[in-house]
Amino acid sequence: MTSILLRGGTIITPEGPVDSDVVIMRNRIKYILKRPYEPRLISQMDAKFDREVAISGKLLFPGLIDCHVHFREPGLEQKETMATGSAAALAGGVTTVCEMPNTIPPTVTVVALADKVRRAEKLRINPSTEFIPSAFEGLRTGNEELKIDVRFFFGATKPSHLQALRELWTGASEELQRLKARCCGLKLYFDHSTGNQGADMRVIEEAFKLCAELKIPVVCHCEDARVNQESRSKNKELCIDAHSRIRPPESEVKAIQNALALAKKYDTRLHIAHVSTRGGLELIRAAKQSGITVTCEVAPHHLFLTVEDYVTLGTLAKMNPPLRSREHQEALWKGIEDGTIDCIATDHAPHTLKEKQSGSPLEAPSGVPGVETMLPLLMSVASGQWPHPSPHTTYHIPHTDILRLCFTNPNRIFSLGKQGIAEDASADLILVDPKAEWTIRGGELHSKCGWTPYEGWSVRGKIIQ
**CATH number of the structural domain spanning residue 262:** 3.20.20.140
Residue 246 has pLDDT above 60, yes or no: yes
Give a yes or no: residue 363 inside a domain. yes
Distance CA 307, CA 25 (A): 50
Go through 53-87 and write b for each residue having 16 or more CB atoms within 10 A of its CB, e for each that does not: bebeebbbbbbbbbbbbbbbbbebbebbbbbbbbb
Q: Which candidate in 21, 149, 342, 347 is catalytic?
A: 347
| 3-state SS assignment for residue 383 | coil
Shared-domain flag, residues 69 and 162: yes
- Identity of residue 243: H
Average pLDDT on 296-321 reads 98
Residue 47 has pLDDT above 80, yes or no: no
Q: How confident is the model at residue 193 (pLDDT cuts 50, 70, 90)?
A: low
Q: How many domains does the chain have?
A: 2
Residue 143 has pLDDT above 80, yes or no: no
Catalytic, 66? Answer no
Shared-domain flag, residues 78 and 118: yes
pTM of the model: 0.94
Shared-domain flag, residues 82 and 39: no
Shared-domain flag, residues 33 and 115: no
Shared-domain flag, residues 350 and 329: yes
Q: How confident is the model at residue 131 (pLDDT cuts 50, 70, 90)?
A: very low
User: For residue 205, is it left (φ>0), alpha (ψ between -120 and 50) or beta?
Assistant: alpha
Q: What is the bridge-based pairing of β-strands 64-69 and 94-99?
A: parallel
Shared-domain flag, residues 238 and 377: yes
Shared-domain flag, residues 215 and 359: yes
- Identity of residue 351: H
Domain that holds residue 333: 64-127+150-420
Q: How confident is the model at residue 461 (pLDDT cuts 50, 70, 90)?
A: very high
Average pLDDT on 362-390 reads 96
Shared-domain flag, residues 39 and 166: no
Q: How confident is the model at residue 150 (pLDDT cuts 50, 70, 90)?
A: very high
Residue 145 has pLDDT above 90, yes or no: no
Least confident of 137-141, 178-182, 190-194: 137-141
Distance CA 357, CA 272 (A): 30
Shared-domain flag, residues 229 and 189: yes
Structure confidence at residue 236 (pLDDT): 85
Cβ-contact 440, 455 below 8 angstroms: yes
Cβ-contact 225, 240 below 8 angstroms: no
Shared-domain flag, residues 338 and 393: yes
Distance CA 413, CA 184 (A): 9
Go through 15-39 and write b for each residue having 16 or more CB atoms within 10 A of its CB, e for each that does not: eebeebbbbbbeeebbbbbeeeeee
Q: What is the mean pLDDT of the chain?
A: 92
Shared-domain flag, residues 179 and 228: yes
Helices 174-181 and 159-170 pack at an angle, to 10 degrees, of 110
User: For residue 117, is it left (φ>0), alpha (ψ between -120 and 50) or beta?
Assistant: alpha
Give a yes or no: residue 436 inside a domain. no
Residue 37 has pLDDT above 80, yes or no: no
Cβ-contact 233, 222 below 8 angstroms: no
| 377-418 per-position pLDDT tens digit | 999 999 999 999 987 777 899 999 999 999 999 999 999 999
Give a yes or no: residue 219 inside a domain. yes
Give a yes or no: residue 250 inside a domain. yes
Residue 458 has pLDDT above 60, yes or no: yes
| 3-state SS assignment for residue 76 | coil
Shared-domain flag, residues 325 and 414: yes
Structure confidence at residue 129 (pLDDT): 39
